[in-house]
Structure 1
Amino acid sequence: MKILLTLFIALSVMLSSPRGAMAEELNCDQFLEGSTPWASCNNYNASVDADKDLNDAYRNLMTVMNKPAWREAKKKLIAAQRAWIIFRDRECEFSQELIGGSNHVNQSECIADMTEKRAEYIKSLYESYK
């Protein structure tokens, strides 16, 4: 029970922090496979991986757009990305309200899924404009 409480507190803090604050994956081997703590831990790790992937794609695209001709587009990309992060978080909160169940399991899965999709989109922009 102490491990479950510790994981719950850690995930609560991490999920309420800005995504950039998530740096390392958690070791999920200590939890029973299929349990809520195990699912929470794995979804958290998926969101960390997706966030790293998105940040790499975003950095690559920003490098390509580091030309005077792209100055305005780059400003709009920065604004769009900031707005998207807020949208993602609010969308996952809304989705959680509809689904119910274990808050951090569903919410972290939503965050991971949406972040993976955004990373793929940013990568496609990079491939188009590099």
Structure 2
Amino acid sequence: MNRFLPYFFSIIPLSSLSIGTLAMASPTQETSKIQLAQKLNCNNAQTQVEINQCAQISYQNADKKLNQVYQKLVPTLSSSSKKKLITAQQAWIKFRDASCEFERSQYEGGTIAPSIYFGCLEKTTQQRTQQLQEYLNSDR
């Protein structure tokens, strides 16, 4: 019997570790809320999840600016030009999304894929914003 005690006590710490690991691997709704409540610092993102979230936020900000410039440009155009801009913008959105999907596909399955995708969306959106801003600033 005494020779089984060291074996028994060596199992206890291992089993408590595995239970702790299981508890951490399946976050509860409470821990999810706590994580969401933490402020995201995009100037010092520490994890790939944070980097991905920051890339998404950067894209969303670029998209807001694009929409602001677009909304300023539309009223300055004739009816015919408005229709052409709408058609061009719809085609551009399809191109942007397909192009960024292609860029992301090179990292398919990797944790960096969302960051690559949102970075592409942001860069392409900023370029389009600049184009629309130039139309807005030109003397037509």
Listed one character per residue, the Cα deviations across residues 60-93 of structure 1 (whole Å, up to 9, x for unaligned) are 110111xxxx221211100000111111111000
TM-score (norm 1): 0.70
Which of 40, 43, 53 is matched with 2:65 structurally? Answer: 53
List alignment gaps of at least 5 residues for structure 1.
Answer: 7-26
Instruction: State how many pairs are aligned.
Output: 103
Is 1:42 paired with 2:50? no
Which of 117, 122, 129 is matched with 1:112 structurally? Answer: 122
Match of 1:123 in 2: 133
Which of 74, 77, 101 is matched with 1:62 structurally? Answer: 74
| Percent identical residues | 27
CA distance in 1, matches of 2:57, 2:90: 22
Which of 77, 86, 103 is matched with 1:78 structurally? Answer: 86
List alignment gaps of at least 5 residues for structure 2.
Answer: 1-24, 33-38
CA distance in 1, matches of 2:139, 2:47: 44
Q: What is the CA-CA distance between 1:99 and the residue it aligns to?
A: 4.4
CA distance in 2, matches of 1:86, 1:28: 30
Listed one character per residue, the Cα deviations across residues 23-75 of structure 1 (whole Å, up to 9, x for unaligned) are xxxx5239x7242111111111111110110000000110111xxxx221211
CA distance in 2, matches of 1:109, 1:61: 25
Deviating 4+ runs (over 6 angstroms): none
